Structure 1
């Protein structure tokens, strides 16, 4: 877990000293990440799992870390575009478990760190599924293809066509784990 840029410096130094890029190192949060840190994460192959819902709940950030450092806050698009293996989670129980609130937060970033780092729904869903599976070191989940476990949900609205400010309205109709209906 490395939330601030200081903690991220420590984590990256430890990964470099351990020569651990090949063992599937993962950093959780990376909430404040400078450009040099993003380059370092990309170069060493570390996986990063971010929690976009913090965009909503960290309203205090400017007062706590200042205007300069707040510009490094939640650089989701920059991380994704830099080639970092990125995943997304809710961070429940700290944040709501509802994944659609996380999708909404990632797509509708507001405030000083704003829209330049927001993601489109397709990217968020990819990072939530494929990206998070890879962050877990799982190559058998995350997509619906032959040879993968059939873990999926059926929802009442299409998140790809629904306005992003309405994805929170999506409800799960059915859930399948390993191809077996569990809900």
Structure 2
């Protein structure tokens, strides 16, 4: 394959844009010697080039499903009552005032909360799913997806893929193994133009195969230690205010067996832990093992902070601002809240993520929140590119020799107009001519 030279580019380099050329050979950036006859030259005419953004925790399939279903993120259900579909699925609510109103509809109504950890079912849905209450939590949500056809999920994944690419995101540490077969997951990964680092949601990881699928691969195992703050299922050391509830602790009983399997097979165990007590118990459960990942870590006991050095973290700076009202329901004595900047300043290895579709997947949304927390723009870019590769030892996120050629082209230095997206050296999204 010829070497491609991209000239007249303003390339992101150590926190600033530098006018220079860069080279791509096969699927990587290239910095060796070559014959001029081997070079194909592309003039970028002063456009601004960054390494592709990499979201270290999101749900490609979930983003697509949300686009294909009804948006109830403003607690507005008017459209739901106007529809006459057999099945109505929506996502995004934070509270439902009158559950019985939905029982008047002839449709099965399934409304997933913003956090993705709680779902509302009207009476017709309850009857179909053989459930006798309006709300279901955590793993019970799997029942919702089991009756949807495979092609719905395939279409949703392609829609999700497009959403990430059009925001300049070239890779996602995704979590998609919910309500679908492993064969379908393999098909999704193999056909993806977006680079997927899949975290396989399972308590029996030895039942599956781990390998590369095109530009994607399965890199780890996803485990839940608790739920969400909004659903009051995040596991706390003190009860939620005005309740007797501490949340739920969901780390599987065979966790040590899962970690042992991961160690032997070079896989990363990625644990969702939001509440301070869930984090404490997770750290203790890992024991001597290090190098695995904690996702969220929003509430941290002061006594646990130093212990985080043994792990890699995926964090969401925007959650600090989204959760201000929710945190009022929590006793915060001796608890650090969203201490992401302190983690970074003290050398704990972390990376940024959106947790889409819980929050917007636009990197600028996440980066703007990080700036408000005191991160510099340079560090915010680093934490949304190279650091996402560092936490899984993948060479992504830098425009430098031997790094994978994932990069994005903007027309302006303020990153307001995305023009092109490249994954593995191939053009996969072009705002003028291509649709993924």
User: Which bin holds the TM-score, normalised by the shorter protein?
Assistant: 0.7 to 0.9
1:12 corresponds to 2:283: yes
SS of equivalent residue, structure 1 residue 150: coil
What residue is the counterpart of 2:407 in the other structure?
A: 152
- 2:338 pairs with 1:92: no
Structure label with greater radius of gyration: 2
CA contact (8 A) 1:2 1:8 kept: yes
Are the aligned partners of 1:76 and 1:119 in contact in 2 as well (CA < 8 Å)? no
Query: Would you say the 8 A contact 1:5–1:32 is kept in 2?
Result: yes
Q: Per the alignment, do residues 119 and 181 of structure 1 end up closer, same or farther by CA in structure 2, a change over 3 Å counting?
A: same
Gaps of 5+ in 2: 1-271, 430-436
The aligned counterpart of 1:164 is: none
Q: CA deviation at 1:36?
A: 2.8
Any idea what the Cα deviations from partners look like across 1:55-80, whole Å, max 9, x if unmatched? 221121342114546x6111111101
> In 2, Cα distance between the equivalents of 1:179 and 1:138?
20
RMSD: 1.8
Alpha-carbon distance in structure 2 between the residues aligned to 1:67 and 1:171: 41
Deviation at 1:108, TM superposition (A): 1.3
Does 2:376 correspond to 1:120? yes
Pairs within 5 Å for 1:1-183 = 1-16=272-287, 19-21=288-290, 24-42=291-309, 44=310, 46-66=311-331, 68=333, 72-109=336-373, 118-135=374-391, 137-159=392-414, 170-183=416-429
Following TM superposition, the consecutive aligned residue runs of length 4 or more in structure 1 with deviations greater than 6 angstroms are none
Q: Measure, in 1, the Cα distance between the counterparts of 2:342 and 2:422.
A: 33
Distance, in Å, in 2 between the alignment partners of 1:140 and 1:101 is 25
For the residue of structure 1 that corresponds to 2:328, the secondary structure is: helix
Find the counterpart in structure 2 of residue 113 from structure 1. Answer: none
TM-score of the pair, normalised by structure 1: 0.79
Distance 1:34 1:155, change over 3 A: farther
Closer/same/farther in 2, CA of residues 172 and 35 from structure 1, 3 Å limit: farther
Q: 1:179 offset after TM fit, Å? A: 1.6
> SS at 1:72's partner residue?
strand
In the alignment, structure 1 segments of 5+ residues that lack a partner are: 110-117, 160-168
Distance 1:41 1:67, change over 3 A: closer
Bigger drift between 33-42 and 98-107 goes to: 33-42
Q: When you count strand as a share of all residues, which structure comes out higher?
A: 2
Count of equivalent residues: 158
Distance 1:38-1:67 versus aligned 2 partners, 3 A rule:
closer
Secondary structure at the counterpart of residue 419 of structure 2: strand
Structure 2 length-normalised TM: 0.35
State how far apart, in whole Å, the 1-side matches of 2:363 and 2:347 are: 24
Task: Provide the rounded CA distance (Å) in 2 between the counterparts of 1:170 and 1:38.
Answer: 37
SS of the counterpart of 1:174?
strand
| 1:147–1:41 distance in 2 versus 1, CA, 3 Å | same
